[in-house]
Amino acid sequence: MKKLLTICLISLVYSPIYSLLPPLYDSVSQLEAIFKDPTLDKHLNSADVLESLTRTDNGWSIHTNKRTLQVSLEAQPAANPGPTKYKVIWHD
């Protein structure tokens, strides 16, 4: 019983800390949302070569050998502490 209580206490203490990710990890989370987006192939061709990613005021600018795309990210409300989930909005 003491073990269970200790585990519960530790998880309560560290859960809020997990939601306060440093900016680097938040940026990684945003990029993961973009590259895991199911509509990615509608906006980028498999022949496109990724040249750079630039952070903008409301999202990211994706530069390829053929085009530049703007992507906005909308933070989704979370029920529990943890990394922010994002909705990807493409601006072709």
What DSSP designation does 17 have? H
pLDDT of residue 20: 57
pLDDT of residue 68: 94
What would the pLDDT profile of 19-77 be if each residue is shown by its tens digit?
Answer: 556 788 888 899 999 999 999 999 998 899 999 999 999 899 999 999 999 999 999 98
Helix (H) or strand (E) holding 33: helix 23-35
Q: Which residues of 36-53 are buried (b: 16+ CB within 10 A; e: fewer)?
A: ebeeeeebbeeeeeeeee
pLDDT of residue 5: 46
Confidence tier at 84 by pLDDT (50, 70, 90): confident
CA 78 to chain centre: 13
Neighbours of 55 (CB within 10 A): 12
pTM for the model stands at: 0.72
